[in-house]
Amino acid sequence: MGSRYTPCCCCSGKEIIPEQVNPLYADYFISDVYEDHEGNILLSTFDKGILVIPDMKIPGVIHSFRDDPITSLYRDKEMGLLLGSSKGQLLAYKDNVLSTLNNKGKRPIEHLFSSPDFPFILFDDGYIRLIDKRSKTITELIEASLKDAVIVSNDLFYLGTNRGIIKCERSGTSNFKCSPLKDFGFRVYCMAYDVTKGILYASTSNGLFYIQPNGEGKPIRLRNQNFFPNTLCYYKGKIYSADKTGGILVIKNEDIATTIWPKINGHTEQISKLIVYKNTLVSQSSKGLFQFDLKGKLLNALNSSLGLSTNRIIDFTIQDNQLWVSHINGVQQIDLNSLHQSITTPLIKISSILVNDKVVEARTDLTDHERKIQFTLSSPTLRSRENIHYHYKLEGNDDDWSINDYASNKITYNALAPGNYTFYVKAEKQGVFSKTISYTFKINSSIYSRWWFIALVALAFLIIVYFIYKWQLNIQRRKSQQINELNASKLTAIQSQMNPHFIFNSLNSIQDLILKGDVEHSYSYITTFSNLVRRTLSYSDKDFIDFEQEIKLIELYLSLEKLRFKKDFSFTINTNNIVDIQIPPMLIQPFIENALVHGLLHKEGEKKLTIHFELKDTLICVIEDNGVGRDKSKAIKLRQRTEHESFSGKAIYKRFEILSNVLKDNLVIPTKICRTKVKLQEPA
């Protein structure tokens, strides 16, 4: 959509041009003129392509300044536009005439300062100087690097330099007395002046300060920390401050009142220079010039859509609704009142869809191998490329909307999982959104990802695991059974070895009685012995017997020993009425035998043996005798040169070791031995 115009004589290169008409693009041979739906003017040329003019009201650059780029600008009513160059030249542009005011500078002029009523222009070209607006005479003030300046009155101004703040007061017609402010002899970044209160604000290498007329200053801190603004601007009783954090701090009554967050496409911009203009913030950032309201909402992106030839801004100034901009292509003027405020709704469409890098028709059913999909977006525009952004979301994959700039119009998803998806996209131009369009598709799952296939594999896996578990369990059970059988055979062997040992000792006692001719006691001994042997044989294949049975066995044994010792021997068994427990058979007898053989056998006179049982957490058996004691027994053994070692003791220790391994329990023997006392513990 658009309009076609017939080329006029001025555009077609005709020689006759009326005086009241200003020729445009006189160096081009224009063959056709066309206006598109955005109001762009397209000029078709024979040898230089197509020229696109976004806005005929915005003039081109006044000069390219290619050899000496402009580094600073200031617009003055009397002198016109003042320009400071990278080679230290001070220029003036007035009535379409460019003139040189000073060309003796030694370094770039980075700043120009003045005010409507101030009769001078402040600049720095290696030396801070004043130029009289009327006489054009130049006065040198001080050798320093000028960072900022504040004009208080015609007779007073402050200089912010690399060496501190310098107060300058006029003492004559053009003579100024310059003296540094006490306590502020450090580098200054920028300054601003509150004309209602007479307070000077200065951002320095030591932080931000407000300085009263008497020279006393106090710091202003952000969250109890110093901060370092790179631009300060006074407007209607407030100081607007911007630093590297991206926010604009609003300072009122020497304190931070609020923070403005100027955002573009959801991202906060870092401001390098700020001018408050008619309740708006004209800000310079690395992305160009932007105009925000006092709440941070974007109003205008002052870029190529408004005729600005580049976004690489060097400096800018505003005077009488005119925005003057210095950039890498020269200096350009924009009338802020003529900016096109009504923003048209952008258009949006999906120009192509690629599946696995192949262009496809609008398909909604994809196979499990078609997992890479790319959408190419388009929004037809010549003017608003820098202002249009794409907002998109793939429902089923994305939780939030993503934003791409105009050039990043290819949206790619590389490895989507099987499922249902809907792609939503809309175009946005400075807060105005297009209609949201969508594309719905489905990626089918493969057979191995279907629920029934997964369930079948899981079931097969569980069955295999179950049979492997059963197989291993059977192996362990057979192994455990074999170990138990082996241990049981060891116990049986030990008991079978221990019982003959006991029988041998008993037969020795009978033999002793017979040799002594004690027939009566021999008969009684044999009767008791037969009862003891019968019980011993019946218990020999058992791991545990009742406690009462073990006590009866001990009583029979001690009865036999009493017959052998005659009247000199007596014993006492105190069971404390313990019932309903089981213990290994023949567990206590070996220790009683040791007490008799090693303790009482060599004792003269009365021989006493006491066996005491107590049931707490464990069954405790204490065997106590009044024998000769362990030390004397050892001495007798050495004197008799006896090399016999008690078999029953070794056997009982081995027996306990096996039982402890088989039954997974602790059996403790003996835990305390002292002279004629043995303490035996085992689990109840």
Read off the CATH number of the domain in which 382 is found.
Answer: 2.60.40.10
653 in Cβ contact with 486 (< 8 Å): no
Q: Is the pLDDT of residue 541 over 60?
A: yes
Find the angle CA(89)-CA(90)-CA(91) to the nearest 5 degrees. Answer: 110
53 in Cβ contact with 34 (< 8 Å): no
Residues 474, 614, single domain; the answer is yes
In a domain, 172, yes or no: no
Residues 612, 673, single domain; the answer is yes
| Residue that finishes a domain, picked among 409, 426, 449 | 449
Q: Is the pLDDT of residue 389 over 80?
A: yes
| Residue that finishes a domain, picked among 449, 464, 493 | 449
pLDDT at residue 209, rounded to an integer: 95
Three-state DSSP at 160 gives strand
55 in Cβ contact with 70 (< 8 Å): no
Three-state DSSP at 258 gives strand
Residues 441, 494, single domain; the answer is no
pLDDT at residue 55, rounded to an integer: 61
> Between the ranges 165-179, 334-348, 397-411, where is the mean pLDDT highest?
397-411
Three-state DSSP at 199 gives strand
Q: Which of 80-94, 457-471, 571-585, 630-644 has the lowest mean pLDDT?
A: 630-644
**DSSP conformational letter for 225:** B
Band of pLDDT at residue 564, cut at 50, 70 and 90: low
Band of pLDDT at residue 45, cut at 50, 70 and 90: confident
pLDDT at residue 17, rounded to an integer: 43
* Residue 138 structure tokens: 């130049």
Q: How many CA atoms lie within 13 A of 123 on its CB side?
A: 32
Residues 423, 405, single domain; the answer is yes
Q: Is the dihedral of CA 429, 431, 436, 438 positive or negative?
A: positive
d(CA 392, CA 395): 10
Task: Give pLDDT tens digits for 349-368.
Answer: 999 999 998 888 777 888 88
d(CA 62, CA 8): 24
Exposed, middle or buried, 254 (CB in 10 Å: 0-12/13-18/19+)? middle
User: Measured in whole angstroms, how far is the alpha carbon of residue 494 from the centre of its chain?
Assistant: 68
Q: Is the pLDDT of residue 82 over 80?
A: yes
The total of structural domains in the chain comes to 3
d(CA 652, CA 502): 13
In a domain, 197, yes or no: no
d(CA 596, CA 565): 10
Q: Is the pLDDT of residue 499 over 60?
A: no
Q: 36 pairs with which residues across the strands?
A: 2
Q: Is the pLDDT of residue 401 over 90?
A: yes
In a domain, 282, yes or no: no
Residues 532, 639, single domain; the answer is yes
- Torsion-angle region of 672 (φ positive above 0: left; ψ -120 to 50: alpha; else: beta): beta
Give me the mean pLDDT over the 426-431 stretch: 85
Q: Is the pLDDT of residue 666 over 70?
A: no
In a domain, 391, yes or no: yes
pLDDT at residue 149, rounded to an integer: 95
Radius of gyration of the chain (CA): 55
Three-state DSSP at 53 gives strand
Q: 402 pairs with which residues across the strands?
A: 392
Mean pLDDT of the chain: 82
In a domain, 239, yes or no: no
249 in Cβ contact with 228 (< 8 Å): no
In a domain, 327, yes or no: no
**DSSP conformational letter for 222:** B
Exposed, middle or buried, 229 (CB in 10 Å: 0-12/13-18/19+)? buried
Q: How many CA atoms lie within 13 A of 574 on its CB side?
A: 13
Give me the mean pLDDT over the 330-341 stretch: 76
Q: 34 pairs with which residues across the strands?
A: 4, 42
Task: Give pLDDT tens digits for 215-240.
Answer: 899 999 988 899 999 999 999 999 99
For 353, the enclosing helix (H) or strand (E) is strand 349-355
> Between the ranges 145-159, 559-573, 575-589, where is the mean pLDDT highest?
145-159
Residues 363, 462, single domain; the answer is no
446 in Cβ contact with 368 (< 8 Å): yes
Q: In this structure, what are the phi and psi dihedrals at residue 502, rounded to the nearest 5 degrees?
A: -65, -45
User: What beta strand segments (E) does 143-183 contain?
Assistant: 146-153, 156-161, 164-170, 176-180
**DSSP letters for 273-290:** EEEEETTEEEEEETTEEE
d(CA 106, CA 130): 16
Residues 671, 647, single domain; the answer is yes
Residues 417, 554, single domain; the answer is no
- CB count within 10 Å of CB 441 equals 20
Q: Which residue has tokens 């006179």?
A: 605
Q: Which of 47, 123, 128 is nearest to 92 (CA)?
A: 123
**DSSP conformational letter for 379:** -
The domain in which residue 481 lies consists of 456-683
* Residue 33 structure tokens: 């003129």
Residues 370, 477, single domain; the answer is no
Residue 622: which CATH number? 3.30.565.10
Q: Which of 104-108, 176-180, 244-248, 382-386 has the lowest mean pLDDT?
A: 382-386
Residues 18, 47, single domain; the answer is yes
Distances (CA, A) of 121 to 134, 324, 400, 609: 11, 17, 53, 126
Residues 512, 530, single domain; the answer is yes
177 in Cβ contact with 166 (< 8 Å): no
User: Measured in whole angstroms, how far is the alpha carbon of residue 38 from the centre of its chain?
Assistant: 46
d(CA 546, CA 527): 24
Distances (CA, A) of 655 to 352, 484, 682: 88, 14, 13
Q: Is the pLDDT of residue 412 over 90?
A: yes
* Residue 281 structure tokens: 């913030």
pLDDT at residue 165, rounded to an integer: 95
385 in Cβ contact with 301 (< 8 Å): no
**DSSP conformational letter for 204:** E
Instruction: Return the higher-pLDDT residue of 583 and 504.
Output: 583
Q: Which of 345, 366, 342, 346 is nearest to 354 (CA)?
A: 366
| Residue that finishes a domain, picked among 415, 449, 483 | 449
Residues 559, 508, single domain; the answer is yes
In a domain, 321, yes or no: no
In a domain, 248, yes or no: no
d(CA 121, CA 140): 12
Determine what percent of the chain is predicted with pLDDT higher than 90.
33
Q: Which of 681, 546, 665, 551 is nearest to 617 (CA)?
A: 681
Beta strand 128-132 with 138-142 is antiparallel
Q: 150 pairs with which residues across the strands?
A: 158
pLDDT at residue 501, rounded to an integer: 60
Exposed, middle or buried, 251 (CB in 10 Å: 0-12/13-18/19+)? buried
Q: Which of 57-71, 285-299, 413-427 has the lowest mean pLDDT?
A: 57-71
